Amino acid sequence: MRLMWIHATWVIGNTHWGQILEPSIRKYLLTNLYVFVWTAPTFVSLPILGIPAYADGNGTFYWDTCLAVGNVVNVEWLMGHNLVYWVPPVGVIGYENYLEDSTMYYNNGFVVSQLGAIDYYYGYEQYSAGITNTLIGNQGGAGVWGPAPMSGVNQYGVFLLGVVSVIPFIGVNMTLPPGATEDIGNLLSPTETISFNGWTVEVANITWTFNIDYGSNQKMFANAFENLLANLFIPSLTSVSDAEFNVHFDNYVITLYRPYEYFTTETIWVNTTWMTIFIPQSSTVVSIPMYHQQSSTPPSNSYVSGVSSSRYYLLYGLYGYG
């Protein structure tokens, strides 16, 4: 194995595609080995909230996503002739938070569930279609992701880059309001194991579900998820290489509940896309913009992709309320 320094300048790029969150993105070069980029002050401010993405009188939804990419290119020969370039590691974290307002709480409303996903399979689809020429995935298997599936928990930790000793430890604790617990599930679907220049790479949509079913006045329901030690695979050091993957957020609540009559629901979702662009030059430049994809009619003055609401009439008894 041979190591090559990128000597990279990581910049936030401009584009006409989607909505880029330039005002909120910050970056750091840590010990000259890793670049850490985040879109809101999750790791630098208290209370931890993230981007105030959407508020409508029922509550306020916050989100954040962070990316850490190595500043070293590994060069490796496989089977004596295949040359592979890759950047280790790539660490991704997603964070979401819903602050329930008094109006919703006193209308018997509550947080039903949240969902989060890190979708490398989307990047694989872009790569397969020829839109990008490289990809990000987990070398040789499922990689290191968390949190693990759990039941009846009210606290857990997410430790972005905690397994990488050469840069500062970064970690946050998720705590639900008093009395609340949640069940955490995980699913890799769709997923595919492919060969990239002879290397085995898993590209999966890693999806977490956080089932809560609880209401609490003016309290925060926060969850986070992460994938560590993925890799950016580069086909060449003489041409531009680009890769994409998605981070998805979803918050589902009961905003109003009338026993034996009806209840109303609200779903808030966010689709974001991380892009990494490797541009070989005399002084190598790498760009990692983050795009916020919005639907055709997103709520005004919001940083979400969409919001939907529905009303359901009850025919039998009570609907579960925590």
Mean pLDDT across 63-88: 72
More confident residue, 76 or 2: 76
CB of 84 within 8 A of CB of 76? yes
User: Which of 85 and 91 is assigned the larger pLDDT?
Assistant: 91
Q: Is the pLDDT of residue 71 over 50?
A: yes
Higher-confidence residue of 226 and 81: namely 226
Q: For position 25, what pLDDT does the model report?
A: 47
297 exposed, middle or buried (CB, 10 Å; 0-12, 13-18, 19+)? Answer: exposed
pLDDT tens digits, one per residue of 208-262? 999 999 999 999 999 999 998 788 888 777 778 888 899 999 999 999 999 889 9
> What pLDDT is recorded for position 82?
61
Quote the tokens at residue 117: 């996903």
Report how far apart the first and last C-alpha atoms of the chain are (Å, whole number).
55
pLDDT of residue 89: 66
User: Which one is predicted more confidently, 36 or 270?
Assistant: 270
**Numbers of helices and strands, H then E, in the chain:** 2, 23
Instruction: Look at residue 8 and tell me whether its pLDDT is greater than 50.
Output: no
What is the rounded distance in angstroms from the CA atom of residue 205 to the CA atom of residue 122? 8
Model confidence pLDDT, tens digit, residues 126-181 = 999 999 998 888 887 656 788 999 999 999 988 765 444 444 556 678 889 999 99
pLDDT tens digits, one per residue of 117-127: 999 999 999 99
Task: At 287, list the tokens.
Answer: 């760009």
- pLDDT number for residue 223: 94
| pLDDT band with cut points at 50, 70 and 90 for residue 278 | confident
Give the model's pLDDT for residue 42: 44
Q: What is the pLDDT confidence band of residue 17, given thresholds at 50, 70 and 90? A: very low
Residue 40 binned pLDDT confidence (cut-offs 50, 70, 90): low
Burial of 316: CB neighbours in 10 Å, binned 0-12, 13-18, 19+: exposed
Contact 96, 223 (CB under 8 A): yes
Which segment of 54-63, 89-98, 101-110, 210-219 scores lowest on mean pLDDT? 89-98
Mean per-residue pLDDT over the chain, rounded:
77
What CA–CA distance (Å, rounded) separates 264 from 304?
A: 20
